[in-house]
Structure 1
Amino acid sequence: MKKFFSSLLFVVAVGTASVTAQSTTMPQQQEKIEVSDAELTQFADVFQKMRMMNQEAQKEMMTVVQEKNFELQRFNEIHQANMDPNKEVETTDAEDKKYKAVVSQLEEMQPELQKKMQEVISESDLSMERYQQLAMALQSDASLQQRLQEIMKS
């Protein structure tokens, strides 16, 4: 769970982050699962709310980065290098200090964001575990993805 939300926090301006994209830090589910239309409709509803919440969180995170007089692209460059041991980036002492300050502030935001996401899921009939199962299944099941797209269109 912590990895899920940590990865969400560092999406800052890297692109549209969806909850299903964030679940890539969890092991991939190999077998197909049975999903009713009603359950998939609930997932779609929660997913839409999560996406809106995520967009708002990204704006807040971008504000944090900018308030520290950090260019978003440079912050992302440094962050990606910190997250990937195969990437290296040279930084100044000032950049290191700003980066640590931004990350610290973003981590402080994490519990509130996690709480809000859990509330959205708990307001549905889905459990957190089931929501995550569905998100993982959607990663590799093209027919389930198609069904979700159809539900989201209507």
Structure 2
Amino acid sequence: MFKSKKIAGLLVVFALFAGSAAIAQNTAMQQPQTVDVEVSDAELSKFAKAYQGLRMMNQQVNQKMMKTVQDGGLEVQRFNEIHQASQDPNKEIEATEEELAKHKAILAKIESMQGEFQKKMENTVKDQGLTLERFEKLSLALQTDQELQTRLQKMMQQGQG
């Protein structure tokens, strides 16, 4: 099976926010759902540290991916246009054979980096003492739980996370 959907998800995730969505690729594409979860301050602090680590990593990954695209001979915006069109059978885009070949080569390089990025993200979460499943559950809870969002924001502002 061609991995471009995963890569498209990665590109979207990296363009918007890496965090939990990259770790939980399948659930990141679903609509937010209410998750009832008890979270201690200590666990929320672990989550905050992992989240901040993922944000910093996201910036590095974005730069690396943008450099890969540019080194491949396309501007990032053009690469994204071609890539989005390649994912949508109803969308047409005029691209030269050369642009399509460059897009394919760049995509192959990005795909080859995907495993490394994923492993680093997983390690960032695990290094804080959280399982990937728990991090994912907390991420989902934060999408809908205003009180939990407020606690996390306060914690991050106070430098506890």
Tell me, yes or no, if structure 1 residue 9 matches structure 2 residue 10. yes
Is 1:132 aligned to 2:136, yes or no? yes
CA-atom RMSD in angstroms:
2.6
> Alpha carbons of 1:66 and 1:97: their partners in 2 closer, same or farther (altered >3 Å)?
same
For 2:36 and 2:42, locate their aligned partners in 1 and report how far apart those are by CA, in whole Å.
Answer: 17
Counterpart of 2:43 (choices 15, 22, 39) is: 39
**Please, what TM-score do these two structures have when normalized by structure 1?**
0.84
Task: State the alpha-carbon separation in 1 of the partners of residues 52 and 139 from structure 2.
Answer: 13
Structure 2: which 5+ runs fail to align?
none
Corresponding residue for residue 19 of structure 2: 19
Partners of 2:81 and 2:114 lie apart in 1 by 21
1:5-154 equivalent positions in 2, closer than 5 A: 6-7=7-8, 9-11=10-12, 14=15, 16-20=16-20, 22=22, 23=24, 24-26=28-30, 28-154=32-158
DSSP 3-state at the match of 1:136: helix
Letter in 2 for 1:148: L
The TM-score, its normalising length taken from structure 2, stands at 0.81
Q: Secondary structure at the match of 1:10?
A: helix
Provide closer, same or farther for how the CA distance between residues 65 and 19 of structure 1 changes in structure 2, counting only shifts above 3 A: same
Counterparts in 2 of 1:17 and 1:39: CA distance versus 1, 3 Å = same
Alpha carbons 1:20, 1:138 under 8 Å: kept: no
Identity %: 45
- Contact kept in structure 2, 1:3 and 1:25, CA below 8 Å: no
Shift of 1:148: 1.2
108-117 vs 84-93, which moves further: 84-93
How many residues in Structure 1 have an aligned counterpart in Structure 2? Answer: 152
How far the C-alpha of 1:54 sits from its partner, in A, is: 1.0
Residues 145/107 of structure 1: CA separation in 2 closer, same or farther (3 Å cut) = same
Structure 1 residues 144 and 81: CA distance shift in structure 2, 3 A:
farther
